[in-house]
Structure 1
Amino acid sequence: MEERRKDLPSLVFRWDMFLSFGKDTRDNFTRRLYEELLRNNVRTFLDDEGLKGGDELAPGLSAAIDESAAYVAVISENYACSRCLEELAQILERKRRLLPVFYNVDPSNVRRQEGPFENPFRYLETRHGVDKVQRWRKALEKSGGKKGWDSMNWKDNSQLIQDIIKNILREVNNTPLGVAKHPVGIKFRVEELMKLLDVKSNEVQVIGFQGMGGIGKTTLAKAVYNKIASEFEHRSFIFDIRETSSQHKGLISLQKQLIHDLFSEKFLANEVSEGIIKIRERVNEKRVLIVLDDVDDASQLDAVAGARDWFFDGSIIIITTRDKKVLRKPFVNEIYEVKELSSIESLQLFSHHAFGKGKPADNFLHLSEQVVSLTGGLPLALEVFGALLFNKKKEMEWVEALEKLRKIQPGNLQEVLMISYNVLDEEEKCVFLDIACLFVKIRMDRESAIDIFKGCGFNAEMVIKDLTEKSLIKIGYDNTLWMHDQLRDMGQMIVRKENLIDPSKHSRLWDQHEIMDVLNFRKGTGETQAIILDFEDHKRILESKVLESKRPSTISNWSPISYLNENFKNAFYFKAEEDNDQVKLCTKMFQPMINLRLLQINHVNLEGDFKHMPANLKWLQWKGCPLEALPSDFCPWKLAVIDLSESKIKQVWKQRSWKGQFKVSSHRPQLATLINLST
Structure 2
Amino acid sequence: MASMSTEEALSLSSFSSSTPRWKYNVFLSFRGEDTRNTFTDHLYDALKKKGIITFRDEEKLETGKSVSLELFKAIEDSRIAVVILSKNYAFSTWCLDELEKIIVCMKEKGMIVLPVFYDVDPSDVRKQLRTFEKAFVAHEERFRENMEKVEKWKAALTEVANLKGWHLVNRPESTIIKNIVGDIWHKLSYAFSECNEDQVGTISRGEKLESCLAIGSNDVRIIGIWGMGGIGKTTLARVVFRMVSENFESCCFLSNVREESEKNGLVPLQKLLILQLLNESISIHDVDNGVFTIKNRLRHKRILLILDDVNQLDQLNKLAGNHIWFGSGSRIIITTRDKHLLQMADEIYEVEELDDGEALHLLSLKAFKTDHPPKNFLELSKDVVRYAKGLPLAIEILGSFLFNRGVDIWKGTLKRLKEFPESSILQKLKIGYDGLQETEQKIFLYIACFFNHEEKNSVVQTLHYLGLYPDVGLRVLADKSLIKMNDFEVCVHDLLQEMCQEIVREECREDPGKRRILWSFEDINSVLKNNTGTEAIQGMALKLPELKEANWNPESFSKMRHLKLLIIDNVHLLRDPKHLPDSLRVFIWSGYSSTSLPSSLHLTVI
Q: TM-score when scaled to structure 1?
A: 0.43
Task: Give the TM-score taking structure 2 as reference length.
Answer: 0.47
**In terms of Rg, which structure is larger?**
2
